[in-house]
Amino acid sequence: MLLRFNFEIPPIFVPGVWWGLVILWPLHALACFQAGLYRGIWLFASLPDLKRVLRAVAMSSAAVLLFYLWYRQNELQTVPRSQLLLYPMLLLLYMGGGRAAYRMWKEHRLYGGLVAQGKPVVVVGANNGAAMLVRGLERSAEWRVVGFVDDDPGKWGLELSGHPVLGGLESLPKVLEAVKASNVILAMPSDSGEACRRVTDLAVAAGAHVFTVPGLEDVMSGRVAISWIRPIEIEDLLGRGSVSIDTPHVAAMLAGKTVLVTGAGGSFGSELCRQVARFGPARLVFFENSELALHTLQQWFALHMPGVLQTVLLGDVKDTERLNEVFSRWRPQVVFHAAAYRNAPLIEVDNAWQAVRNNTLGTLRIAECAARFGAERFVLISTDKALNPTNVMGATQRLAEMVCEALHRQGGNMRFEMVRFGNLLGGVGSVIKKFQEQIAQGGPVTVTHPESRRYFMSILEAAQLVLEAAAMGKGGELFVVDMGDPVSIVDLARRMIQLGGFSEAQIRIEFTGLHPGEKLYEESLADEEQARETPHPKLRIARARAVDDDFLANLHPWFAESCQSDTQVREKLTRLVPEYQPASNIS
C-alpha cells in the first residue's frame, strides 16, 4: 500500500491496511508452515527453498484475493486492485531475496577469505557434476577454480558458478598456461574413457597433475562426497561405465534366502558377498579356504554391514564331508561358486593336477551337494580363459562348465547358470597392481609381448552382472559378459608410467616373452559358440558344444586317481576338452 500511494496512504484506506494485517499475517504464517519454510537452514538456502517460498507465496496470494473479495462484498472501502500483483511480487522478493542475501553474507564471513587461496585448478567438463564440485571446492583452502574447458562450443564464453568456460578439451594446454595452473580435475561421466584418456594425455604433456572425482554411484551411496578429490588412476581411463541391473528381479531371487558363496574371501568373492547383502538375504554363508581372507571379510561386514546375518565357514570345496555338513545344517537356496585357482602361469608348471582337482572336481562335488540338499540355483563363476583354452587353468574352467552342463541335463529342480568374464581391475594378480609395484620400485615395467591385448572390467561391475545373469537364467545358460574393447598392455604400461609422473627414459618397459600357456590375444566367444542377445546389453548367452551323455561317467575314474604329471593332465584335458590346444610356449 505504501508503494501504491507513494508512501502516503490516504486515511480512507488505513482501515483496510489494518484489517489486512490482522487477517493475512496469521494466514501467511500458516502458509509458510505448510510449505515447510520453517524447516530450512538459511545458510544452505537453495533451489528447494525457493520452491517452498513460491508455494507459500501462492497460498498467501490466494488469501489476499479472498480478502479482497470479502472486503469488497461487505461494501467497505475497496482495496486497490494493484495489491493483487504487488503483494506476491514483494513477498517473493522479501522471502526469497532475504534468504539468498543471508546465505551470501554468511558464506562470505565463513569462506570469503578462501577464495584467493588454494592451488589454481582447471575443471574439465561444465556440467551438473562440475557445478556440485565447484560448490564443494569453494569451501576448501586447498583448491581455487580458475575456469572450465568443455567440448560443447555452446558453453564457451559462458560462466558456471561464476567461473568462465575457456574453451574445448583440445585447448587445455593453452588454458593451463594462460591461467598459470598446473592442476586439472576431471568432472566427466565415468564411462567416457576415451575423452578421459585424451584429456589426461594433454594434461600430462603440459606438465599438469590430473585428479578426478568419485563416480555418481559412490556419491549417491554416501561413501564419498563429490568434493573428494583423488589423483586419477588407470582404472578411470579404461572407460568401464557403471552397470544398471534389474534390481527388483535380483531382489526376488535373493531376498529372504540363504545364500552361500564359495571363495568368499577372494577379491571377486568378497565383492559378490557385498552386493548380495544389498538385497536382504536371510543369511549369507561365507565359505572360504583361506583363514586370513575369511577373517578380513568378516571384519568388513562387522564394521560396514552389521545387520547382515552371516555364517563364516572354513572349508575346501573338494571336501565332501565338510560340504555335506554345511549344506545339511544351513540349507542354502542360492549358491555362487567363485572358488577356483585362476593364476594361469602358476598353474601351468607343476600345479596342473591341483588345478584339475580344485577347479573341476571341486565344482562337481559342490554342485552335486547343492542339488542333493535342494538348492534352487547354482551359479558357476567362470573365465574368458575357457574360450578355446591354451592353458590348464582355462581348460579346467571349461571342464567345470561342462560338469554343470552335464548335471543340468540330468534334470532336477536346481537351475544351473554359468557366467564368464575377463580380467578384473584391482584383483589379486592383476597386471595393474604389478605395474604399480614396479613403478614404485623405479622399474623396469615388464610386459610379456608388445602386441599383447586383454579385456578388463571392474570387480563391482562383474559382481553386479553375475547377479543379473543369475536372476535372468532359466537353467543351463552360459552367460558371456560384454567386455568392451581389448586394451593394449604396452599402452597400459606407458599410461601408468605417465600417471606416475615419469617418462619412459626414467622407467623403461621390458619385454619378457609370453608366460607358459598364455595367449597373445583374448577372444570374446569360442569358435564353436554362437551368442544370442539378452535383455541386458552387457550379457549374452553362448551356445557351447554339447556334452556327451557319458561325460560324467568318464570323468569320475580320472578324479579317483591319486596324482598326475603336468604332461598326463594336458593329454587327458585334450581328450576331454577338444577345443583345448596347449600353447607351444610351455616348457
Task: Tell me the C-alpha distance between 380 and 127, whole Å.
Answer: 41
Residue in the structure block whose three cell numbers are 538375504: 281
CB 89 within 8 A of CB 111: no
For 207-216, give one letter per residue: b (16+ CB within 10 A) or e: ebbbbbbbbe
Residue in the structure block whose three cell numbers are 568378497: 270
CB 386 within 8 A of CB 424: no
Task: Tell me the C-alpha distance between 30 and 117, whole Å.
Answer: 45
Q: Pull the grid cell for residue 445.
A: 615395467
Task: Tell me the C-alpha distance between 109 and 99, whole Å.
Answer: 15
> Helix, strand, coil proportions of the chain in percent (round to 5)?
50, 15, 35
Looking at 373-520, list the stretches that DSSP marks H as alpha helix, in order from N- to C-terminal side: 392-409, 431-440, 459-472, 489-499
Contacts of 224 (CB under 8 A, 6+ apart): 214, 218
CB 314 within 8 A of CB 288: yes
Task: Tell me the C-alpha distance between 426 and 407, whole Å.
Answer: 33
Pairing type for strands 415-421 and 377-383 reads parallel
Task: Tell me the C-alpha distance between 276 and 420, whole Å.
Answer: 18
Contacts of 188 (CB under 8 A, 6+ apart): 124, 125, 127, 129, 195, 196, 199
CB 210 within 8 A of CB 156: no
Element (H, E) at 119: strand 119-124
Q: Is the previous residue joined to 516 through a cis bond, with omega within 30 degrees of 0?
A: no
CA dihedral 456, 459, 464, 466 (to 10 degrees): 70
Residue in the structure block whose three cell numbers are 522471502: 95
385 is catalytic: yes
Contacts of 385 (CB under 8 A, 6+ apart): 342, 344, 391, 393, 394, 397, 522
User: What amino acid is encoded at 270 in this protein?
Assistant: S
Query: Of residues 155, 385, 538, 572, which has the active-site annotation?
Result: 385
Number of H helices, E strands in the chain: 20, 22
CB 451 within 8 A of CB 515: no
N-term to C-term CA, the chain: 98
Task: Tell me the C-alpha distance between 420 and 380, whole Å.
Answer: 9
Q: Pull the grid cell for residue 1.
A: 500500500
CB 242 within 8 A of CB 317: no
CB 61 within 8 A of CB 87: yes
Task: Tell me the C-alpha distance between 110 and 104, whole Å.
Answer: 10
Tell me which residues are annotated as active site: 385
